[in-house]
Amino acid sequence: MPWTAADPVSGAVALAAALRGAGMPVGPDRVQRFVEALDHLDVRDRTDVYWAGRTTLCAHPEHITPYDAVFAAFFDGRVADMRRTERMPARRSVAVALPSSAPDADQSRDEEQSALVANASSVEVLRRRDVASLSPGERAELDRLLARFAMPGAQRRTRRWQPDRVGAIDRGRTVRALLRSGGELADLRHRSVRHRPRRVVLLVDVSGSMTPYADALLRFAHAAARGRQSTEVFSIGTRLTRLTRELHHRDADTAMAAVAAAVPDWSGGTRLGAQIKAFLDRWGQRGMARGAVVVVMSDGWERDDPQLLGEQMARLQRLAHRVVWANPRRARPGFEPLVGGLVAALPYVDSFVDGHSLEAYEHLADVVAGRR
Amino acid sequence: MADDATSTNQHHPAGAPDLGSPAAVRSRLAEHDYLADTGLSTAIFLALRTQRPLFLEGEAGVGKTAVAHTLASVLDAPLVRLQCYEGIDASQALYDWDFPRQLLHLRAAEAGGIRDADAIEAELYTRRFLIARPLLQALETSPCVLLIDEVDRADDEFEAFLLEILSEFTVTVPEIGTLRATEPPVVIITSNRTREVHDALKRRCYYHWLEHPDFEREVAIVRARLPEISERLAREITAVTQALRSADLLKPPGVAETIDWARALAALDVHDLEPDVVMATMGAALKYREDQDRARRLDVGQLVRQALAEV
């Protein structure tokens, strides 16, 4: 139904439904706020209604474009056909499964092999195996092992204090103790500077050349990000997608399904330079990369001019505490960093590590935590 | 609800009579040299009317903080500012006990020969030994404008804490009891979007995304802030900053930078923007070497001519 001044409440509810149809999260409390706002404005005035809705129903700048489209259609009474055409692409079917490693001819041989290995040592073997060459059974085992991962960043000093046995005198606590004992100086309390882990930012390459590793890397990212507010995850390929929210699901498979639905550029080309620039412009420079440990998980294949990648990596290094590059192909025999993008990026990387096996991920976690 | 809001507005010092519509809000802000567009003035109007916080988001330097400052002078109310930073907690945002004073009081009581321990203790935990930090200050000063600046810099636990205070406008101090605002303060929350602020907090507020102003508005802003500058120079400087904004810089200059730059030119007694003057004073607006390099490659003379042709 189009907007009528006679019945703004039904109109508001219908507009909210249309926005929901376009993929915006408009809850009943927001609708209530919208109606409340209309109460103070002129419901016959398009501008008033527009701004009442925009300040109450939108919560991010990204909401403004769909809101504008839906609002215009709604106000002109074009709402019925709008629902089909304006849907946001993010709401894709979850049925798009994660591209797991392509089953190849080696698979059956691998299964025979793994059946021969004694169960006790299978974990040890799995630790060193290249993720791209696993059988489905081994992959499930790997997923279980990955789920136990935790990856705190290196420690940083905060401005805050914590009680300690030694260190500077804690005036507040000492005085409080004094007050309790009626003014007698019983003993001095001390405090020391509190340390906290740094923020960790993971940039996971999901382009075509990384397809065999993308699933394992994202599961690793899930384990690292889960339950940790300070870890941020992005996928890079032809587009930059923030996955932090999707990865906050506790269950790994649910999180992977959410990720699959959110990433628009699976197995596409790679424009690393442009994506790192997009990350720095939108998030990094404002604060996310500042003082953080930034991990780029990519093989360094760059479709565009590697010079841009070099410039952006230099910028990243100036902002971040530490830049780590994990490359799944590094462990291959005869590996030389000759790929254009990698050559341009490496001068600005603090640690260049493997990224192909469980053992490599354990090592990576140590590097990120500043233990190596 | 509507009657309620109107009645509270009446004993507001500069309330109901002249802030009764978005247009009125807009003209009052303009009197104080803040040129708001329809969206912002509607958002401010709604926030004042329904006594909800206003959540302002936008690039650095678009005038988020200035909204609070201007609103404080429009309402003729003091501005209480809480600057957020990583690790901020209740003792910096809300209240703290004044331990040295408590101690002094205790010593004085002892020296005076008072031995009643309970009475002394009761005295020690009273309002006079409480240091009010910004949030408590804002609840105790009414009317006032509370500016919670750069909330995205604080940790998200702090957001939950803010949410609690902003929904009730009360503070409970265990030793004293509940302190309540006689009249809820006007709350402005700003964020630079270094991270996403939790939806629960946003839901409580009116949300407004502040954009850079268009050319004419920005010229008017510069003229309003710096009356000593000629119309011609204001146009020239605005044309250059607007062009820089679309030039893919690391840090595009905001309105604050336009004003800074204009002020620098005024200090140099410049009346006409020549390319060499632009090069020499660029540091007022561009704070990265890469950005300055890029700006040098732009044809400033062309930009200025274009801007003047539009007059």
Q: Is residue A101 part of a domain?
A: no
Same domain for A169 and A274?
Answer: no
Q: Is residue A81 part of a domain?
A: yes
The closest alpha carbon to A3, from A36, A37, A40, A48, belongs to: A48
What's the CA gap between A206 and A243, in Å, rounded?
12
Secondary structure letter of residue A123 according to DSSP: H
Share of chain A above pLDDT 70, in %: 84
Q: Which residues of B touch A284 (CB under 8 A)?
A: none
More confident residue, A317 or A94: A317
Q: Which of residues 252-311 of B touch A (CB under 8 A)?
A: none
Residue B16 pLDDT > 90: no
Same domain for A189 and A260?
Answer: no
Same domain for A229 and A324?
Answer: yes
Same domain for A225 and A324?
Answer: yes
Share of chain B above pLDDT 90, in %: 43
Interface membership of B69 toward A (CB under 8 Å): no
Same domain for A141 and A168?
Answer: no
Specify whether the CB–CB gap between B222 and B216 falls below 8 A: no
Q: Which of residues 181-220 of B touch A (CB under 8 A)?
A: 192-196, 199, 202-203, 206-209
**B2-94+133-210 carries CATH number 3.40.50.300:** yes
Chain-wide mean pLDDT for chain A? 79
Same domain for A183 and A224?
Answer: no
Interface membership of A286 toward B (CB under 8 Å): yes
Same domain for A121 and A207?
Answer: no
Identity of the residue in A37, A39, A176 whose CB atom sits nearest the CB atom of B99: A176
Tell me, what's the pLDDT at A79?
54
Contact assignment for A55 to B124 by CB distance below 8 Å: no
Specify whether the CB–CB gap between B127 and B176 falls below 8 A: yes
Residue B14: pLDDT band with limits 50, 70, 90: very low
Tell me, what's the pLDDT at A180?
75
Residue B288 pLDDT > 60: yes
Secondary structure letter of residue A60 according to DSSP: S
| For range B215-226, the mean pLDDT | 92
Q: Which of residues 151-180 of A touch B (CB under 8 A)?
A: 158-160, 171-172, 175-176, 178-179
Tell me, what's the pLDDT at A163?
86
Same domain for A181 and A268?
Answer: no
Structure tokens at A183: 């003014």
User: What is the total count of domains within chain A?
Assistant: 4
Q: Which residues of B touch A175 (CB under 8 A)?
A: 99-100, 102-103
More confident residue, B98 or B120: B98
Least confident of A78-87, A218-227, B182-191: A78-87
Q: Which residues of B touch A316 (CB under 8 A)?
A: none
Identity of the residue in B1, B45, B102 whose CB atom sits nearest the CB atom of A179: B102
What's the CA gap between B10 and A360, in Å, rounded?
68
- Tens digit of each residue's pLDDT (9 = 90 or more) over A187-225: 888 988 888 888 999 999 988 888 888 888 888 888 888
Among chain B residues, the shortest Cα distance to A32 is held by: B203
Specify whether the CB–CB gap between B48 and B19 falls below 8 A: yes
Contact assignment for A58 to B50 by CB distance below 8 Å: no
- Tens digit of each residue's pLDDT (9 = 90 or more) over A95-150: 333 334 444 444 444 444 444 434 445 666 667 777 777 777 777 777 777 776 77
Among chain A residues, the shortest Cα distance to B87 is held by: A160
Chain-wide mean pLDDT for chain B? 86
What's the CA gap between A61 and A48, in Å, rounded?
19
Residue B157 pLDDT > 90: no
Residue A19 pLDDT > 80: yes
- Tens digit of each residue's pLDDT (9 = 90 or more) over A246-256: 888 888 888 88
Tell me, what's the pLDDT at A86?
40
More confident residue, B160 or A101: B160
Same domain for A240 and A363?
Answer: yes
Out of A120-124, A179-183, B181-185, give the one with best mean pLDDT. B181-185
Query: Residue A179 belongs to what domain range?
Result: 157-195
Identity of the residue in B39, B49, B203 whose CB atom sits nearest the CB atom of A29: B203
- Tens digit of each residue's pLDDT (9 = 90 or more) over A275-333: 999 999 888 888 888 889 999 999 888 888 888 999 999 999 988 999 999 998 888 87
Contact assignment for A61 to B57 by CB distance below 8 Å: yes
Residue B105 pLDDT > 50: yes
Same domain for A343 and A213?
Answer: yes
Out of A64-73, A149-158, B30-39, give the one with best mean pLDDT. B30-39
Residue A94: pLDDT band with limits 50, 70, 90: very low
Q: Which residues of A touch B2 (CB under 8 A)?
A: 39-40
Main-chain dihedrals φ then ψ at residue B87, nearest 5 degrees: 90, 5
Same domain for A334 and A289?
Answer: yes
Residue with tokens 């309620």: B4
Same domain for A215 and A321?
Answer: yes
Identity of the residue in B124, B155, B206 whose CB atom sits nearest the CB atom of A55: B206
| For range B107-136, the mean pLDDT | 84
Interface membership of A30 toward B (CB under 8 Å): yes
Specify whether the CB–CB gap between A226 and A250 falls below 8 A: yes
Specify whether the CB–CB gap between A198 and A228 falls below 8 A: no
Least confident of A91-105, A164-178, A293-307, B204-218: A91-105
Strands A231-236 and B145-149: unpaired
Q: Is residue A2 part of a domain?
A: no
More confident residue, B94 or A3: B94
Element (H, E) at A299: none
Tell me, what's the pLDDT at B27?
94
Tell me, what's the pLDDT at A125?
66
